[in-house]
Chain A
Amino acid sequence: MRRSVADKARKLLLVKTATSSSSSVSQHPSLPLSLSSSSWPQSAIRFLTSLNSPSPSSSSDSMTSSLTLETINPKVLKCEYAVRGEIVTLAQQLQEELKVNPGSHPFDEILYCNIGNPQSLGQQAITFFREVLALCDHPAILDKSETQGIFSADAIERAWQILDQIPGRATGAYSHSQGIKGLRDTIAAGIEARDGFPADPNDIFLTDGASPAVHMMMQLLIRSENDGILCPIPQYPLYSASIALHGGTLVPYYLDEATGWGLEISELKKQLEAAKSKGITVRALVVINPGNPTGQVLAEGNQREIVKFCKEESLVLLADEVYQENIYVPDKQFHSFKKISRTMGYGDNDISLVSFQSVSKGYYGECGKRGGYMEVTGFSPEIREQIYKVASVNLCSNISGQILASLVMSPPKVGDESYESYSAEKDGILSSLARRAMTLEDALNSLEGVTCNRAEGAMYLFPRIHLPLKAIKTAEAEKTAPDAFYCRRLLNATGIVVVPGSGFGQVPGTWHFRCTILPQEDKIPAVVSRLTDFHKGFMDEFRN
Chain B
Amino acid sequence: MSAKALDYDSLNENVKKVQYAVRGELYLRASELQKEGKKIIFTNVGNPHALGQRPLTFPRQVVALCQAPFLLDDPNAGLIFPADAIARAKHYLSLTSGGLGAYSDSRGLPGIRKEVAEFIERRDGYPSDPELIFLTDGASKGVMQILNTVIRGPQDGILVPVPQYPLYSAAISLFGGSLVPYYLEETANWGLDVHNLRESVAQARSKGIIVRAMVIINPGNPTGQCLSVANLKEILRFCYQENLVLLGDEVYQQNIYQDERPFISSRKVLLDMGPPISKELQLVSFHTVSKGYWGECGQRGGYFEMTNIPPQSVDEIYKVASISLSPNVPGQIFLGLMVNPPKPGDISYEQFVRESKGILESLRKRARIMTDGFNSCRNVVCNFTEGAMYSFPQIRLPPKAIEAAKRAGKVPDVFYCLKLLEATGISTVPGSGFGQKDGVFHLRTTILPAEEDMPAIMASFKKFNDEFMEQYEDYRGYSRM
Contact = CB atoms under 8 A, between A and B. Distances in A.
B45 interface: yes
Size category, A interface: 35 or more
Q: Most chain-B Cβ atoms within 10 A of its Cβ — which of A9, A10, A131, A364?
A: A9
A31 B212 CA distance: 9
A220 B296 CA distance: 30
B297 A121 contact: no
Interface stretch (B48-56, B123-131, B340-348): B48-56
Interface string A390-407: 101111111111000000
A17 to B, nearest CB: 8
Contact of B243 (A59, A174, A378, A396): A59
B32 interface: no
Given A122-B98, A365-B101, A9 B186 contact: yes
Nearest to B315: A69
Interface stretch (B58-66, B427-435, B453-461): B58-66
B300 interface: yes
Given A56-B243, A398-B137, A130 B481 contact: no
A168 B50 contact: yes
A314 B80 contact: no
Given A66-B282, A394-B144, A174 B2 contact: no
A198 interface: no
Given A67-B309, A69-B313, A28 B202 contact: yes
25 contacts: A5-B371, A5-B383, A16-B439, A25-B202, A28-B198, A31-B211, A59-B243, A66-B213, A69-B313, A119-B98, A119-B99, A127-B70, A130-B70, A134-B71, A140-B57, A172-B296, A208-B328, A219-B12, A245-B323, A316-B6, A390-B15, A393-B140, A393-B167, A398-B299, A400-B67
A134 B323 contact: no
A170 B55 CA distance: 9
B330 A137 contact: yes
A243 B329 CA distance: 27
Contact of A369 (B210, B324, B328): B328
A172 B55 contact: yes
A367 B102 contact: yes
Interface in B184-240: 185-189, 193, 195-196, 198-199, 201-202, 205, 208, 210-213, 240
Given A135-B64, A283-B5, A382-B8, A64 B50 contact: no
Given A60-B280, A66-B213, A172-B298, A220 B6 contact: yes
B152 A73 contact: yes
Nearest to B55: A172
B100 to A, nearest CB: 5
A177 B6 CA distance: 22
Contacts of B408: none
Contacts of B13: 223
A451 interface: no
Contacts of A168: 49-52
Nearest to B166: A393
Contact of B325 (A25, A211, A382): A211
Contacts of B77: 150
Interface of B: 1-8, 10-16, 18, 20, 22-23, 45, 47-52, 55, 57, 60-61, 63-65, 67-71, 74, 76-77, 79-80, 96-104, 106, 137-138, 140-141, 144, 148-153, 155, 167, 170-171, 174-175, 183, 185-189, 193, 195-196, 198-199, 201-202, 205, 208, 210-213, 240-245, 276, 280, 282, 290, 295-300, 308-310, 312-313, 316, 319-320, 322-331, 371, 375, 381-384, 394, 396, 437-440, 479, 481
A278 interface: no
Contacts of A172: 48-49, 55, 295-299
Contacts of B8: 380, 382-383, 386
Contacts of B100: 125, 366, 368-369
A540 interface: no
Contacts, number: 405
B67 A134 contact: yes
B6 A65 contact: no
Contact of A150 (B71, B213, B280): B71
A1 B152 contact: no
Nearest to A212: B324
Given A66-B245, A67-B310, A368-B96, A76 B67 contact: no
B324 A9 contact: no
Contacts of B74: 150
A393 B12 contact: no
Nearest to A127: B70
Interface in A1-54: 1-2, 5-6, 8-13, 15-16, 19-20, 22-25, 28-31, 33, 35, 40-41, 44-45, 48-49
Interface stretch (A77-85, A490-498, A503-511): A77-85
B296 to A, nearest CB: 5
A269 interface: no
Contacts of A314: 2-5
B204 to A, nearest CB: 11
A364 B77 CA distance: 25
Nearest to B275: A60
Interface of A: 1-2, 5-6, 8-13, 15-16, 19-20, 22-25, 28-31, 33, 35, 40-41, 44-45, 48-49, 56, 58-60, 62, 64-69, 71-74, 76-77, 79-81, 83-84, 115, 117-123, 125, 127, 130-131, 133-135, 137-138, 140-141, 144, 146-147, 149-150, 167-168, 170-175, 177, 208-209, 211-212, 215, 219-223, 238, 241-242, 245, 283-284, 310, 314-316, 349-352, 360, 364-370, 378-380, 382-383, 386, 389-390, 392-401
The 5 A-B residue pairs with the shortest CB-CB distance, nearest first, are: A368-B329, A138-B64, A399-B298, A173-B50, A120-B98
Contact of A173 (B189, B213, B298): B298
Nearest to A116: B103
Contacts of A58: 243
A94 to B, nearest CB: 15
B369 to A, nearest CB: 13
B4 A378 contact: yes
Contacts of A31: 205, 210-211, 242-243
Contacts of B22: 392
Given A22-B193, A28-B202, A119-B98, A33 B243 contact: yes
